[in-house]
Amino acid sequence: MIHQFLSASFNLSMLPARLAIRNTKASFQAMRDLPGTVKQYADGLHQSCGDSQLFIDQLMQRIDTELGGDPANLSNHEREMITARELAMAEQHLGHAVFNMLKAYRVLSAKPSRVIEHGRAERID
């Protein structure tokens, strides 16, 4: 009985040390794997930068196509007209977007009505 008590108390007293060793082992494994993880993150970041640059280049080519060539070749009058038209269109689209977001917010933030619905009303002529 005394042997079991001493054995249990020894196991209990060694528990923090065993947990620390397990945590240290896991920490060393994480540190060992960290350079690979950082390299994967850097590779992913580099790939995403390349994808972004490609997307921007394609977008600029599309804009040049819509303008009919390089904007540097446009006259001042053409630049002013195109700029005014595009800014007016952007303002209109942003206005619609803001209105739609406010409408969505209004619908989501409205408290449910306490009106009891009785089904479809019949029309009396």
Q: 3-state class of 115 per DSSP? A: coil
Residue 67 and residue 79 in one domain: no
Residue 62 and residue 89 in one domain: no
In a domain, 123, yes or no: no
Model pLDDT for residues 61-72, shown as the tens digit of each residue: 998 888 888 888
Write out the residue range of the structural domain in which residue 49 sits.
1-73
Residues in CB range of 67: below 8 A, 6 or more apart: 74, 82
Residue 57 and residue 102 in one domain: no
Half-sphere exposure of residue 52: CA atoms within 13 angstroms, side-chain side: 6
Residue 11 and residue 46 in one domain: yes
At residue 92's C-alpha, the angle toward residues 87 and 94, to 5°, is 90
Residue 57 has pLDDT above 70, yes or no: yes
In a domain, 48, yes or no: yes
Number of compact structural domains in the chain? 2
pTM above 0.85, yes or no: no
Model pLDDT for residues 4-48, shown as the tens digit of each residue: 655 666 566 666 666 666 667 677 777 777 777 667 777 777 788
Residue 59 and residue 81 in one domain: no
